[in-house]
């Protein structure tokens, strides 16, 4: 079949398709996975007392690196830095509280590889203000992170309810928290999970309350550059592997044993005892074993970083498994 100018149509399609170098090959040649995170967000990514990175997002970065057999280098990015860093190749992957929106998906040249955290924008205020609802915030000064979906959510909410506010905008979440703690604004706006995490870093956490309103949908997940399906498959299925592992009772402690002893066909396929999924993605047969040994299953990652036995004491809520009434769900391993 000929195109408009007599050229074979298939050649025209190929010529119009962007060519993207293999991210997996680049990572292996470099000898490390470069994962973009936000280091000013307790529970999601933060340095511990020894300078080691910890957190929910950090654990998913480590699992991804382990699945391909390389160490991980954490690249600390603000909200405005994250997308240019991914576009330029400074990082291979974003695990950085990055909401999946249509605009980001179709306009920026990115692919979202699943959802690892469901949340929504909320409001934190001082208990002494005596405020019980966000509808009482007319005229408030609001601290918010620049370049975030939260900025737009707040503006939409106040406009919809015929209220006014004064935005107090900072590039880094830590600067927003510090400004709120210093009394430079009345309200701290962020996702509910982030607010719970940031509250413990305030001078007097017990003096602050998170209001009940949730004013948006904020699905977070790993982000890669468009045009590299192999790398996208690996990132997506490492995330799915942590979820499937929780569904099947596979833990950081028992994964190695189950990789040789389980008679469950889906566990056998996931852990590489049968099938060729590792080979099909260009990684080793035990890719999921290595990922789970590094970080554990989804539930373990959650409980370790923000569960009820941590200072944050966050309920799983929407982030429960689907079988427990939540939204966390992995496609079948078959």
Per-residue pLDDT of the chain (334 residues; tens, 9 = 90+): 334 334 343 333 333 334 445 999 999 999 999 999 987 778 999 898 898 999 999 999 999 999 999 999 999 998 889 999 999 999 999 998 889 999 999 999 999 999 999 999 999 999 999 999 999 999 999 999 887 888 899 999 999 999 999 999 998 888 999 999 999 999 999 999 989 989 998 999 999 999 999 999 999 999 999 999 999 999 999 999 999 999 999 999 999 999 999 999 999 999 999 999 999 999 999 999 999 999 999 999 999 999 999 999 999 999 999 999 999 999 999 9
329 belongs to a structural domain: no
CATH code: domain of residue 127: 3.40.190.10
pTM: 0.88
What pLDDT does 164 receive?
A: 97
What pLDDT does 12 receive?
A: 35
91 and 138 in a common domain: no
17 belongs to a structural domain: yes
324 belongs to a structural domain: no
What pLDDT does 7 receive?
A: 39
150 and 170 in a common domain: yes
70 and 39 in a common domain: yes
227 and 104 in a common domain: yes
The CA-atom distances, in angstroms, between 34 and each of 69, 99, 167, 285, 295 are 13, 20, 34, 23, 17
What pLDDT does 21 receive?
A: 54
279 and 250 in a common domain: yes
32 Cβ neighbours under 8 A, 6+ residues apart: 65, 70, 71, 72, 73
285 and 144 in a common domain: no
The residue among 182, 216, 250 that closes a domain is: 216
**Domain count of the fold of the chain:** 2
37 Cβ neighbours under 8 A, 6+ residues apart: 44, 45, 53, 55, 57, 58, 61, 74, 75, 76, 77, 95, 96
82 and 141 in a common domain: no
283 belongs to a structural domain: yes
What pLDDT does 71 receive?
A: 98
146 and 198 in a common domain: yes
As a whole number of angstroms, the distance between CA 51 and CA 53 comes to 6
As a whole number of angstroms, the distance between CA 61 and CA 135 comes to 38
Range of the domain at 42: 11-118+220-318
Burial of 330 per CB tally in 10 Å (0-12, 13-18, 19+)? buried
Whether 72 and 61 have beta carbons less than 8 Å apart is answered as yes
What pLDDT does 329 receive?
A: 94
């Amino acid at each position: 079949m000929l195109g408009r100018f007599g050229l074979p149509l298939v050649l025209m399609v190929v010529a119009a398709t962007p060519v993207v170098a293999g991210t997996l090959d680049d990572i292996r040649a470099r000898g490390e996975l470069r994962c973009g995170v936000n280091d000013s967000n307790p529970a999601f990514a933060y340095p511990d007392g020894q300078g080691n990175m910890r957190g929910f997002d950090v654990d998913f970065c480590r699992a991804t690196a382990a699945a391909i057999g390389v160490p991980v280098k954490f690249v600390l990015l603000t909200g405005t830095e994250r997308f240019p860093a991914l576009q330029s190749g400074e990082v291979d992957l974003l695990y950085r509280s990055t909401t999946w929106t249509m605009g980001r998906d179709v306009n920026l040249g990115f692919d979202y590889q699943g959802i690892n955290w469901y949340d929504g924008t909320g409001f934190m205020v001082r208990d002494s203000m005596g405020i019980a609802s966000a509808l009482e915030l007319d005229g408030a000064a609001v601290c918010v992170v620049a370049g975030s979906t939260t900025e737009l959510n707040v503006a939409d909410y106040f406009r919809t309810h015929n209220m006014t506010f004064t935005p107090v905008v900072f590039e880094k979440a830590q600067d927003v928290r510090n400004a709120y703690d210093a009394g430079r604004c009345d309200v701290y706006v962020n996702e509910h999970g982030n607010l719970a995490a940031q509250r413990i870093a305030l001078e007097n956490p017990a003096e602050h309350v998170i209001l009940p309103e949730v004013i948006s949908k904020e699905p977070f997940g790993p982000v890669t550059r468009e045009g590299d399906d192999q790398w996208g498959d690996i990132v997506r299925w490492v995330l799915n592997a942590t979820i499937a592992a929780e569904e099947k009772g596979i833990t950081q402690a028992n994964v190695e044993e189950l990789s040789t002893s389980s008679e469950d066909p889906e566990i056998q396929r996931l852990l590489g005892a049968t099938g060729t999924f590792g080979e099909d993605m260009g990684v080793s047969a035990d890719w999921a074993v290595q990922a789970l040994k590094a970080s554990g299953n989804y539930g373990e990652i959650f409980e370790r970083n923000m569960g009820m036995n941590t200072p944050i004491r966050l309920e799983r809520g929407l982030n429960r498994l689907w079988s427990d009434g939540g939204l966390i769900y992995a496609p079948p391993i078959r």
